Amino acid sequence: MNEQLACWLKTASRWEADAPKAGNVHPAASFVDLTHDDFVRSAEILGDCYLNLEQPAEKLCPSIPLLKVARETRQQVGRNTNLGLLLLNTPLAAVPSEQLLSDGIEDVISAMDIDATVRLYEAIQLMQPGGMDKVDEQDLSDVPSLPVREVMLLAAERDLIAKQYVTGFRDVLGFGVERAEYWWEQTGQHRRQAVVGLHLDWMSRFPDTLIARKLGLEMAESAAVKARDVLAAGWPNAAAGQDAFAKFDVWLRADGNKRNPGTSADMTAASLFAAFRDKRVNFSD
């Protein structure tokens, strides 16, 4: 089973990284400190780590492979290329293979104890994500004293990834998988276009919490409005929609890529993995 999980995880990561999404790194667009090759290497590391687990992933606490991948990524890539993706996909990968993700994810999250929180904190500290302000309770610089769900509850209102742990991954397994399936069919299984559409959906429906952490909620909400405008203009088929997308991409990349919609990219990758795993989107790569 680990071999199949490794394939799904790696493929979801590569599909997300390869698509020319608005405001993100892709093969034709880099940041000063991040390139597409960094994300390709990170996807390889993720796949290799799952292939080399000593036990089936469903027998392990998700924080164990999460920390393993984070350490390898930090050592080999030296940048935060996949923390959000790991926080989302490693719990999903721990659901027993005979269950649908929606049937098994609650038990996985409930079993993530304080030791799991300690590993999770170490992974976050290794990756040094942007926009993480100090908080009064369970700050990342402290030794955690709560299990994972309770820690995530403290952050759920300001972080869409944390919210998934509190709600049983409702947004990923509902909205995300449904929209992945929609775009896969709508684009005639055009992989990169389907991923761009899914990414636009996430930005338009949920203001990007990485943008909000760095620049404030008002800026994140402005990005969401612009994403909705792109879709309303008829992207990808209408010329007006294509023009709106190009302008949106330029706006997101202005001012040193500070408006990078990174949380939306992570949610996109998680939606793809969930769609593969529950066989809602079938692919050959």
The alpha carbon of residue 152 and the mean position of all alpha carbons in its chain are separated, in whole angstroms, by 16
3-state secondary structure the chain: CHHHHHHHHHHHHHHHHHCCCCCCCECCECCCCCCHHHHHHHHHHHHHHHHCCCCCHHHCCCHHHHHHHHHHHHHHCCCCCCHHHHHHHHHHHCCCCCCCHHHHHHHHHHCCCHHHHHHHHHHHHHHCCCCCCCCCCCCCCCCCCCCHHHHHHHHCCCCHHHHHHHHCCHHHHHHHHHHHHHHHHHCCCCHHHHHHHHHHHHHHHCCCHHHHHHHCHHHHHHHHHHHHHHHHCCCCCCHHHHHHHHHHHHHHHHHHHCCCCHHHHHHHHHHHHHHHHCCCCCCCC
**C-beta of residue 207 within 8 angstroms of C-beta of residue 225:** no
Averaged pLDDT in 10-residue chunks for the chain of 285 residues: 94 98 97 96 97 95 97 94 96 97 98 96 84 56 85 94 98 98 94 97 97 95 98 98 98 95 98 96 70
Distance (Å, whole) CA 146 – CA 54 = 28
Distance (Å, whole) CA 249 – CA 142 = 38
> May I ask the CATH architecture of the domain 2-277?
Orthogonal Bundle (1.10)
pLDDT of res. 132? 52
The alpha carbon of residue 83 and the mean position of all alpha carbons in its chain are separated, in whole angstroms, by 8
pLDDT of res. 282? 81
pLDDT of res. 116? 96
Can you read off the two tokens belonging to residue 243? Answer: 């023009």
What one-letter code names the amino acid at 57? A
Cβ atoms within 10 Å, residue 199: 27
Each domain of the chain, given as residue ranges in start order, spans 2-277
pLDDT of res. 2? 87
